[in-house]
Each structure stands twice: as structure tokens, then as C-alpha cells.
Structure 1
Amino acid sequence: MEFNRSAIAYAGPQIVTSTALLDNHCLVVRGERIADVMPISALPASTPIKHIAGAYLTPGFIDLHVHGAMGRAYNEGSVEAIEHIGNALLSAGVTTALPTLASASIDELVQALDALSASVDISLSVEGTGAPTDAVSSAGDRDFADTENPTSSPRASPPATLRIPGANLEGPYFSHVQAGAQDPHALRTPSDGSVEDLLAYTDAISMMSFAPELDGAIPLTERLVEAGIVAAAGHSDGTAEDLQACQVAGLSHIIHVFSGQSTTRRVGPWRVPGVLEATLASEDLTVEMISDGKHLPPLLMRLAHRSLGDRLCLVSDATPGAGNPEGSSYRMGAVTYRVGDGVGLTEDGTAFGGSTTLLPQMVPIAVRALGLSIPSCCDGDIHPCRSGATERRRSLGPRVLGGSGSSGSRPDPMRRSGARALAHISDRKGTSMTTHMYEDLAVTISSTAEENGNVAAAAFAEATKAALATRDEISVILATGNSQLDFIDAAVAREDIEWSRITVLHMDEYYGMSADHPASFRRWMRENIQAKVPLRRFEGMRGDHEPYAEEIARYTQLLQDLDPVVCVMGIGENGHLAFNDPPADFDTADLVRMVEMDEVSRRQQVNEGHFPSLAEAPTHALSLTIPALLRPERVLVVTPESRKAPIVQATLEGPVTRDVPASILRKQSHARLFLDADSAARLTPAGA
């Protein structure tokens, strides 16, 4: 590319693309355009660099569902409120938004639509840093670092602009039964004639949600689709059939999954699925999820993601309470709400009143709950552009704030308009880890084995905490061996793992070996875990029981009865998972098997000091099968050390094959691989 005197490079944070986190790269901005993303080493010496510390640099966030921020609501219907909210969103890193109107009187909604139709230009400049204007902000306990510029003189920041494709009408055509925090006095039916007043502003509306069971819902769907407006379902007490009828007419989107949705009911002896079940079973609906850590527990977030995949999109549902202190009040329409426990609540505390968290602050919560990578949460698996709501341009003209209004295609995530398409998020807490996606597998790389163990232990703690939130007790599968020691030491040292409610199983044992043998995995588990934490119980695999078929049957029954929710394992030097040596069986119905160990696997046991020679290393073992290892809700794979680097490279960069058993992990969206710098040393660098 060509550089000129107006070019400036931003460096320091990892740069988030749609597929990877780029280290040692910079983002080059020329005027109000992102000109390039390139290695710092390739940057011409004449180009000034702004150094930004301790965060991620991401494309601008898109929020399909946001009611307001910092004490102001879009329902107010004033240009002043629109500008105030716009500045709050921009400062957090949101660069495209659908201003969302809660149910209110038709007069109030018309006034708000009229204000949103006005020609407005929102600008924001962060004084004195010269940084991209929405790149320096704060997100609760995830602080955004200030910028430094040791190599160039200060210069003015380009103005940031908020793009508004159109309004999002959340109501007023909702069910009273599923009203949630919507104003019950404002709710109506689509057949009452009021639709005409709202659809006089079709060019200013991008999305409209309603309950599909209401009288007039199907004709409303048809009119919205004809006008190019996304028809969405929400706050509904209808059935799956009601939703399907509107889908046939063109409804394509669901607002905030699990919130304001009917579920299965009994009609006589018959079970009738509701909107929630229809949503989770759908094959083409795009679906919103609020990931503020309040509206949904991690279990429900994972259920939604597992059911919907890349049709799930994060939204904030942020209200005027976003950015306001605990105990403060705010209004939307005729209803007053309060900020309590980090979320919006009705005054009586019986229902959520939207969130008080802006979208960039939700990303670290989603990363932890779903086990996804930062790129997946920012621009990959759960991206709002798939809804189609951001593609509307029509005759909005200047209402596309800061944009030309000319393009109807999905924006390239790294080529959005100007320096305003940047934002910081940070949840790194002093670590130097990076996360990358290899097909469906998230791979986190830490600088040291100790850090790798700490990061994996934190993920294990989060997974067990989420599972115990809905169960009295759980079971987990844990691996043994030298490579697991940093993880185990970190896990037993944590105070947030309720071991007394956890039953531990393990994944293999040498055939014919007693529990007291120095190399016994039962002994390893007793000494490294059971002796250090108050387990509910430990269920060891009896390798010396005869006939061994009885032990296989016993342990199989244990796995079926206990149904482990988390599996933590490693990868062997030959790519094996447990003792499933190559060529591995990916499809067996067995949960436990007697296996013959290959020479590479046996030599690994000798090299790790478990046996003095190959002749004394066992030839057979009882082992969980690969389907058994992958059955739990979460699978964490801890694989440090340089001796694992060749097989890690084959696992992640070679074909998925039975000859490299661990390669099947690339097809597991519920799995996460933890590497240190040594085990990741042979991987192709991101962006290479």
C-alpha cells in the first residue's frame, strides 16, 4: 500500500480479525479509513505509531437491540437524547446500532420515530490521545488502557460517527402474559388499526418485534417483509404453530432468547411446544441473546449456542441504566426501573428491566460462558449482521449517521468506515495468552506451562460453577500424568471449586495393575487430588479386576449414571486421547474398552519415568473411548511441553484423521485446547 503524511499506525493490543488474534501487528489509518492491517516489522519507518497498551483492538460493535445509556432513552423522542446515547455507545466501541423503542403509547412512538428520522450527525473525540476515538474507554472491571505515543507528536482524532440503519420497534404488539418489563398499559393487537401510524415511518424502521399469536400478526408480518423491515417475534405466549405461521409469511428473527418466550404446555394429555422450543429447534431463524451474566446463566447460554450456532447474535438490550450507579432510577415509556445487582429491574424487583451492560462489556462474559474465542464473539460465531437488520439503507440518507447510505452488503469487518470502527475490550488480567480458532475448536496459547495450567483451571472452575448452579452435585472426568500437574495444582489451590459436590472419574488404567503400584493412575489421582481436596467421591477404574469385562461393564454403568459434565484430558505424543492410540475409533458405541497400547505410547510412559524399560511397560489398558471423552458438556484439553509440539501441529494443521486421534477435536465446538508456548511452537503464526 501507499503511505502518506496522513497515515498513522496503532499498535500494542492484539488485533481481532474474524478468525484470529494478531500479535505484533498494527492497524494503519489514513484519514477516516482503515487502510491496512500489517506486521509492525513491515511498517515504513516514516509512519508514526500510537502505542495502546493492555487490550484488544476489534472492529466496531453492532448492537441490534439497545434502548439507551447514561440516563437517556430513545423513547424520549429527542435529538438531544439520540446524541447523548450515541456518544455513550461510541465511547464503548459500538459503531452501529438499532435504536430500540420499548412499548409505549402510539403518540410517543411516533414522536420517537420522527426524531430518529431527522438528520443527525453524532461525533465524538477523545481529547489529547490521538487514538481512534472509540478505542479508549472503560468496561466495568475490564479496564481499557490509556494510549501512549512515544514516537510522534499529538494530533487531533478523527470524528467518530454512529451508523443507524433504522429503528427497532420492540412492541407494542405483545402478549400480556409474557410482557416482562414492558408497560402493560401500552400493549395492543396489530388488528386495532394503530399499525398504520407506525408504518408511516417504514423508511426509518429496520426491525419490529411482536407476538405471533395476536390477531393481525400474519398480515403485519407480510407488510413488514414487503417494506424491507425484519419481522421478529418476542414477548409471546403463543405456540410453535403460531410462530410457524408467521415464519411462512416471512418472520425471520427472534428477540432475546429465553426472555419473554412461552414454553411447552399441557393441553389434556398432549404437550404443545411453545415459542422457546420452536426457536431452539429452528433451522433458519436468527436469534438474539443477552450475555450480561444476569439475564441467562451460562448453562442456558450454552444451550442456545449449541442449538443455534452461528445464527445466534449477541445484543445488549441496554437501557438508560447502562453507566449509571447502583440504586439509580430510569424511565422507558411510562415505566420507571432501577439499577440493582448490575442489571435493570422493575421497581418491585420481580422482573428484569433490560440490561445495564453495553455490548463490548458482554464479550468477555460470552467468551467464558461459551468457551469461544474472542474472534468468534466479536465477528465470527455470534455476529448480528446475519439478522439482515443492519443491511437496510433505503432512503435513510443522513439518518445513516456518519455513513453514505449507499451500500447494502455486509461490511468487511476490517474495512469498516474509518478509525471509528475500532474498540478495545480487555479481560486479560495481566496474562499474555492468545486464543485462535481451528475450525470449531478454540485454542488458547499461554506463555508458560504454569500460566497454561492456571488458565485451564479457571475454565474448569467456571464450568463446574455453571453446572452446579442447576444441580446438587456433578461428576467430572480428569486426566492423569505429568502434563496435567500444573493444571491439577492450580485447580486444587482454587477456592471457587466446590469439590465436596463433585465426583471424579478418570479415563484409563493399566491392565493387571494394582491400585498401589507406583505407576497406577488410581494412585496418582489419590495422591494429587483426593488427598488435597474434599471430594464427594472418587471412582477409580480397577485395572486388576478379573474378569476385566466386569470392570468395563461397571465403569460403563458409572458413566451412564453419573453423566459427567466436564472432561479434562491431554494429548499423547502419538495423538492419543486417553489410550485411544492410532488408528482411533471415532464412532464406537462403547464407552469403555480394553485397548492395546502402541510402541510410541508405551515409550512415552517409560520416558516419563513410570517404568524402567519398554519391556516392563504394560501392553494393554482399560480406557474410555473417544465418544465417551467427548460426551460431557465441556471438554478441556491441557497439553503443554515441547515434546508435544509435533503432534499439536499435526492435530491442528493436518487432516482430521483416525491416524491422529486428537484431530477430531477440531470438530468439537464444546471443546477448548490449552497450549503453552513450547507445545505451540510449530504452529503457523496467525496472519502468516
Structure 2
Amino acid sequence: MLLVRANYLDGNFQWKTGDIEIEDGRLLRVGENLSFPEDELAVDCSGYTIIPGFVDIHIHGCAGTDTCDGTREDIDNMARFLLQKGVTSFCPTTMTTGRATVERALLAAKACAEQPVEDGARIVGIHMEGPFIAKEKKGAQLEEAILPPDYSWFRELYELSGGLVKLVVVAPEQPGGYEFAEQAKAQCTVSIAHTTASYEEAKHAFDCGVTHATHLFNAMPGLSHRAPGVVGAVFDDERVTAELICDGFHLHPAVLRTAFRVLGDRAVVVSDSMRGNGMADGESFDLGGQLVTVKDGKATLSDGTIAGSVTNLHEEVKNLVSFGIPLEHAVKAATLTPAKVIGMDGEIGSIEPGKRADLLVLDENLDIVAVYH
């Protein structure tokens, strides 16, 4: 199959016009004026833009279901909804809950990854957000389920998932946090979040193996001129990638513009969405054992604490463009960079021969008109 006369982002995220050949779900050839048999199926993409499929490495739920519901049916439902929004790969994300709940979620995600639904996004990893966090910055996480960093327990869960856990969160300033990072980095990417860490503590965590920051700015000390905190440490360290929730609610557009300028290719767009994503406003959405109200596109607990989002990567990329971020930068932050964070950039995240043929065709308004998966 060929997509011809396409305006697409090449492997360096530069705009090119040419042809894209797909064979057996892979990108076979990409370039200008490709030769091909006259009887080969060709789709004229003149006037459209082709980008890689989105990769969401931090998503709890959507379409009424949640990772921690712990059944294959629930996660398959998420996968089907996400593909409609242009997300072709994702990491179901757990919350700070009891061990039995986390175990069920990991096993369900593993089953879905091993036998993916044909009409849904693929699972490319699991993101464990908790329980090794700081109570003072718990956000919408359940306080009674918070535990000190425990590598032995994490390793058991990692093995249970069949090695599918690609991201684990830790508040490194907690007792045993630095040691946890030094050990867990051998299994997966270790991320800092829900933390009270100072600039100095965060920098020490990076030296110990933390290379990522979950939802930067949120659930951590703010950036101050005499106390740079985690945000300042991330800005100051090229080893660390950072998630940004780009719904215009979690972070002000001016903050997003600043973050993208400072982080460059270290910026990662995530949804951090919960089960209310894709549902009507309501007050009966459970998130990790707590009741969440969704109103006017904002998800909050009863005390006003932000409780995830109801956005998706497609909406966020469009938001970023409206905020002044170049389309190619926004797309890279929602595709190749998150793929790199979880070690999947050899398979997904960019339009290059040999990779999966995960492609989105966009019209002049950046709306999705076709998904190849």
C-alpha cells in the first residue's frame, strides 16, 4: 500500500513531500517519487498532513474505564477509544492503591499487550504512578495506600508484569528513595513525582538514576528564584525528560511556551487522563478510590485538588499549536520523545523505514481524517 504525494514529517521531524510505502504493518519505504507497480493500492494524500501516531505514556483511564479496574475488558475499552483519538500506543497507568489492585491491573495490561485488540491502540508498557510518593504532595493519590520506596516489592510487580513496567514513580527524598532509583533503573525508567524534593535533592536523584519527571510542575515544589526545586533541577539537567499536561488548565499557556523553549526535545506530552475522558460531565467518577467531579473539562476532588485530566494527545497538540508551539515540535513531544522514554523509539514514534506503520492523516484544521495502525 502507498500513500502518495503526502506532506509528512521525516525521521528528523522536518517537513517533506513524497510517498510512504506500507507492507505488513511496517513502513517499507519513505521518500520522493517512489517507483511501484501500477496495480499497487495507492492513496492520494495531496493537501493532507501525515504524522506519526501518538504515544501516551501516562494515562489512567478514559471512556468510563480505568487501568485499576483490573480487567482485560476495561483496558481493551481504553485501547479502542484511544485509537479513535489518534493514540496508537499507550502505557496504562496505575494509581497509589492496594497491592492486590495493582497486581490485577498489571496482569490485565499484560494480557492485553500479549493479545491486542485489532481496533485499538497497542500497549507498549505500564506506568506505575505510586505508591512510593510523598504524602505532602499526594495530589489525587490515596494517602493511606502510600508506601516507602520498596525495591523488593517493585521487583516482584515488575516480574509479574513480564517486564512490561516501563516507568515507575518515586519521591526520592523519602527514606530509601535514592537507593530505590539506583536499583530500579536497571529494570525501567525511574521518574520523580509527587515529591517535596529540593533542587539539590532532585539533582542527587538524577545522579542516582532518575531520568524522567512525571507531570512537571504538578505535585512538586514550584520554581522560585532562590529555591529552584524539582522544576529548576529538570530545566538544568539535560539527562532528564519531562511530562507536560497541555490542556491549558494544568499549566498556563505561557508556562508551556517557556517549558518547551527550555526543554526542547526533552518535552513529553501526556494526557494523565482519567475515566471521565470522553464522558459527559458528572460527579460519579472514581479515581484510585476517590470521587472525582468533571465540569467544563476539569477533573477535581471535592476539595478542588486537580485529579488527572479529561484531555487526549490530539487535543493537546492542537492546543500547543494555538499557544504558539511549532507543529513539528508539538508532534515530536507526543510521539518520538515519549517512545524514547520507554525505550520503544526503535519501533514507534517517527516515520522511518522499518518502524510500525502507525500514521495519522490530518486535514488543514489538524483534525484526524484517517488512522493507519
The reply to whether residue 355 of structure 1 matches residue 309 of structure 2 is yes
- Decide whether the 8 Å contact of 1:310 with 1:382 is kept in 2: no
The reply to whether residue 9 of structure 1 matches residue 6 of structure 2 is no
- Pick the aligned partner of 1:123 from 103, 107, 117: 117
For residues 342-364 of structure 1, what are the alpha-carbon distances to aligned partners after superposition, in whole Å with 9 as ceiling and x for unaligned? Answer: 2322244x122112111122112
Q: What is the CA distance between 1:320 and its match in structure 2?
A: 1.4
Aligned residue runs from structure 1 range 128-277, under 5 A: 162-190=121-149, 194-195=153-154, 197-201=156-160, 203-226=163-186, 228-263=187-222, 271-277=226-232
> Which ranges in structure 1 are unaligned for 5 or more consecutive residues?
1-7, 126-160, 392-406, 431-688
The reply to whether residue 366 of structure 1 matches residue 326 of structure 2 is no
- Decide whether the 8 Å contact of 2:348 with 2:355 is kept in 1: no
Q: What is the CA distance between 1:74 and its match in structure 2?
A: 0.7
- Letter of the 2:7 partner, please give it: Q
Q: Give the number of aligned pairs.
A: 364
- Decide whether the 8 Å contact of 1:13 with 1:56 is kept in 2: yes
- Letter of the 2:68 partner, please give it: N
Q: What is the CA distance between 1:305 and its match in structure 2?
A: 1.5
> Which ranges in structure 2 are unaligned for 5 or more consecutive residues?
368-373
Equivalence for 1:139? none
Q: 1:103 to 1:427 in 2, by over 3 A?
A: farther
For 2:31 and 2:253, how far apart are their aligned partners in 1?
36
Q: What is the CA distance between 1:184 and its match in structure 2?
A: 2.2
Equivalence for 2:330? 377
TM-score scaled to structure 2, two decimals? 0.86
The reply to whether residue 98 of structure 1 matches residue 58 of structure 2 is no
- Letter of the 1:218 partner, please give it: Y
For 1:309 and 1:342, how far apart are their aligned partners in 2?
28
Aligned residue runs from structure 1 range 186-585, under 5 A: 186-190=145-149, 194-195=153-154, 197-201=156-160, 203-226=163-186, 228-263=187-222, 271-327=226-282, 329-348=284-303, 350-372=304-326, 374-379=327-332, 383-385=336-338, 387-391=340-344, 413-415=351-353, 417-419=355-357, 421-426=358-363, 428=365
For residues 196-237 of structure 1, what are the alpha-carbon distances to aligned partners after superposition, in whole Å with 9 as ceiling and x for unaligned? Answer: 6534436131110121111110121122112x2111100111
For 2:8 and 2:278, how far apart are their aligned partners in 1?
26
- Letter of the 1:205 partner, please give it: V
The reply to whether residue 65 of structure 1 matches residue 58 of structure 2 is yes
Percent of paired sites with the same residue: 25
Question: Larger C-alpha radius of gyration, 1 or 2?
Answer: 1
- Decide whether the 8 Å contact of 2:53 with 2:335 is kept in 1: no
Q: What is the CA distance between 1:301 and its match in structure 2?
A: 0.4
For 2:125 and 2:53, how far apart are their aligned partners in 1?
17
- Decide whether the 8 Å contact of 1:59 with 1:414 is kept in 2: no
Q: What is the CA distance between 1:253 and its match in structure 2?
A: 0.7
Equivalence for 2:370? none
For residues 88-131 of structure 1, what are the alpha-carbon distances to aligned partners after superposition, in whole Å with 9 as ceiling and x for unaligned? Answer: 12222222211111111122112211222336422345xxxxxx
- Letter of the 2:296 partner, please give it: D
Q: 1:40 to 1:380 in 2, by over 3 A?
A: farther
Q: What is the CA distance between 1:408 and its match in structure 2?
A: 6.1
- Decide whether the 8 Å contact of 2:20 with 2:27 is kept in 1: yes
For 1:198 and 1:245, how far apart are their aligned partners in 2?
26
Q: What is the CA distance between 1:424 and its match in structure 2?
A: 3.5
- Decide whether the 8 Å contact of 2:278 with 2:310 is kept in 1: yes
For residues 162-185 of structure 1, what are the alpha-carbon distances to aligned partners after superposition, in whole Å with 9 as ceiling and x for unaligned? Answer: 443321100112222211222222
Higher relative contact order (CA 8 A, sep 6+): 2
Q: 1:263 to 1:33 in 2, by over 3 A?
A: closer
- Decide whether the 8 Å contact of 2:346 with 2:355 is kept in 1: no
Q: 1:383 to 1:296 in 2, by over 3 A?
A: farther
Q: What is the CA distance between 1:385 and its match in structure 2?
A: 4.2
Find the residue that maps to 1:50 and give its secondary structure: strand
Q: What is the CA distance between 1:188 and its match in structure 2?
A: 2.0
- Letter of the 2:200 partner, please give it: E
Q: What is the CA distance between 1:296 and its match in structure 2?
A: 0.9
For 2:40 and 2:49, how far apart are their aligned partners in 1?
22
Q: 1:193 to 1:15 in 2, by over 3 A?
A: closer
- Decide whether the 8 Å contact of 1:94 with 1:423 is kept in 2: no
- Decide whether the 8 Å contact of 2:269 with 2:334 is kept in 1: no
For 1:207 and 1:185, how far apart are their aligned partners in 2?
22
Q: 1:425 to 1:408 in 2, by over 3 A?
A: closer
Find the residue that maps to 2:306 and give its secondary structure: coil
- Decide whether the 8 Å contact of 2:71 with 2:105 is kept in 1: yes
For 1:181 and 1:309, how far apart are their aligned partners in 2?
29
- Decide whether the 8 Å contact of 1:29 with 1:418 is kept in 2: no
Find the residue that maps to 1:118 and give its secondary structure: helix
For 2:349 and 2:320, how far apart are their aligned partners in 1?
23
- Letter of the 2:218 partner, please give it: S
CA RMSD, 1 decimal: 3.1
- Decide whether the 8 Å contact of 2:269 with 2:333 is kept in 1: no
Equivalence for 1:19? 13
Q: What is the CA distance between 1:381 and its match in structure 2?
A: 9.5
For 2:329 and 2:223, how far apart are their aligned partners in 1?
32
- Decide whether the 8 Å contact of 2:173 with 2:201 is kept in 1: yes
Q: 1:54 to 1:72 in 2, by over 3 A?
A: farther
For 1:359 and 1:237, how far apart are their aligned partners in 2?
28
For 1:340 and 1:390, how far apart are their aligned partners in 2?
36
For 2:334 and 2:71, how far apart are their aligned partners in 1?
35
Q: 1:321 to 1:19 in 2, by over 3 A?
A: same
Q: What is the CA distance between 1:12 and its match in structure 2?
A: 7.4
Q: 1:411 to 1:317 in 2, by over 3 A?
A: closer
Find the residue that maps to 1:223 and give its secondary structure: helix
- Decide whether the 8 Å contact of 1:106 with 1:197 is kept in 2: no
